[in-house]
Amino acid sequence: MDPKAARILVVGAGQAGASLVARLRALGHTGPLTLVGAEPFPPYQRPPLSKGYLKGEMALERLFLRPSSFFDAEGITLLTGTPATAIDRTARTVTLADGRTLPYDLLALTTGSAPRRLPPETGGDLEGVLLMRALADADALADALAGRSRALIVGGGYIGLEAAAVLREKGLDVTLIEAAPRILARVAAPATADYFRDLHVRHGVHIREGATLARLTGDTRVAGADLATGEHLPADLVLVGIGIAPETTLAAQAGLAIDDGIATDTHGRTSDPSVFAAGDAASFPWNGRRLRLESVPHAIDHAEAVAAAMLGDPAPYTPRPWFWSDQYDVKLQIAGLNAGWETTTTRPGPRPGSRSIWYWQGPRLLAVDAMNDPRAYMTAKRWIEAGHSPDPAAIADPASDLKAL
């Protein structure tokens, strides 16, 4: 069968799913194309949920990636509020929660990731214990703020820090606890953590590092938290931000290979030649190891590469990682992957409070964290993508001109 005429089914209506179906049509696919989403919304942006949307600065309609007219015009069947419950790889069908069975010639899984929850035995199911991942989570948090004054955030990653910034701006007393010795321990160097710790402390956030949660307290509604040390922290609202995990349940139940996500080759093909995966849920070979990325740019780029492979024009996927975070008046821009870094260089930025942290493995530039310094970010991004590594001593010298380097 000509893949451009194949029946293609895409399960997962997030950024990757929306990008994949759009790219399929742009590349000339003319066959039946269906996008299945578990949430009762069309594909939408997730990053603004803990930023502009939670602040009330972004209307719901602005979150949507495409107007509904796009799917109609492109002949894409969009099914929302219909979780997929099973894949029959022999019959090549997907069963939905409402009992419908959809056939496919080619299947793409763009199921994304889900937030890790606190277990019920530690109070994770108490009223007032919230997450921040989906649109419903942001709405629930906005509704829960009424009449609340003391918020506890569990987890010192970027989601927790972004939420802390918004809650402080809304006037709540905010305490953030992190079990690791410092915030951002998994994703950033101490210099970056120091920058954001200082930023939040100056805005009145109480940051407790090396603080292990024993349990949340309360009868039916959360009233506080007991730490492993025996200390009690009062709170009438708790936001859990302890990381996310790839959504692999559907794939695993279908017998597909799982390896830190749905295992794919460099073209996005899974262990079943007729099934592909893209975005947060998929892992792929990269530089001698298996990599899984969680970012909007990756979801778009990976989905578009997988779309080409599904239509018979495969090319090895090469990620160009970049990320961002907004906290108070600081925009953090990250280029590259800092895994395996050995040393860092701090470079002052052009304005008060701006700076960049450069990561090195030996003489090789791996990544940069740029705080209110877009020039450092853009320069480093170009260098990393080109495989160029400047002299660390020159980077550390604030008198040196990045453009000249």
Closest CA to 12 of 33, 36, 32, 34: 36
Whether residue 146 has pLDDT greater than 90: no
Closest CA to 198 of 358, 373, 355: 355
Task: Please report where in the chains the tokens 């708790």 appear, as a residue.
Answer: 238
pLDDT, average across residues 86-100:
98
Give Cα 398 distance to the centre of its chain. 33
Give Cα 365 distance to the centre of its chain. 24
pLDDT at 404: 79
Q: Which residues pair with 153 in a beta bridge?
A: 176, 239
What does CATH list as the number for 329-396? 3.30.390.30
pLDDT at 10: 98
* Positions of E strands within 37-188: 76-79, 84-88, 93-96, 101-103, 106-109, 113-115, 129-130, 150-154, 173-178
Q: Give the neighbor-by-neighbor strand order of the sheet with 343-348.
A: 322-327, 330-336, 364-371, 355-361, 343-348
Whether residue 288 has pLDDT greater than 90: no
pLDDT in tens, 151-160: 999 999 998 9
What is the rounded CA–CA span in Å between residue 396 and residue 355? 11
pLDDT at 56: 85
pLDDT, average across residues 81-86:
97
Confidence of residue 296 (pLDDT cuts 50, 70, 90): very high
pLDDT at 401: 86
Domain ranges of the chain: 3-114+245-310, 120-242, 329-396
pLDDT in tens, 312-321: 999 999 998 8
pLDDT at 274: 98
Whether residue 405 has pLDDT greater than 80: no
Confidence of residue 168 (pLDDT cuts 50, 70, 90): very high
Please list the helix, strand and coil fractions of the chain in percent, rounded to the nearest 5, in that order.
Answer: 30, 30, 45
Confidence of residue 27 (pLDDT cuts 50, 70, 90): very high
Give Cα 116 distance to the centre of its chain. 13
List the structure tokens of 66. 């495409």
Whether residue 391 has pLDDT greater than 90: yes
Bridge-based pairing state of the strands 8-11 and 106-109: parallel
Assigned CATH class of 120-242: alpha beta
pLDDT at 175: 98
What is the rounded CA–CA span in Å between residue 372 and residue 377? 9
pLDDT at 30: 98
The domain over range 3-114+245-310 is classified in CATH as 2.60.120.10: no
Asked whether the whole model's pTM tops 0.85, one would answer: yes
Whether residue 363 has pLDDT greater than 80: yes
The CA-based angle 165-169-174, given to 5 degrees, is 60
Whether residue 242 has pLDDT greater than 80: yes
Closest CA to 287 of 318, 320, 249: 318
Bridge-based pairing state of the strands 150-154 and 355-361: unpaired
What is the rounded CA–CA span in Å between residue 343 and residue 215? 37
What is the rounded CA–CA span in Å between residue 251 and residue 109? 8
Q: Which residues pair with 331 in a beta bridge?
A: 326
pLDDT in tens, 121-134: 999 999 999 998 99
Domains 3-114+245-310 and 120-242 share a fold: yes
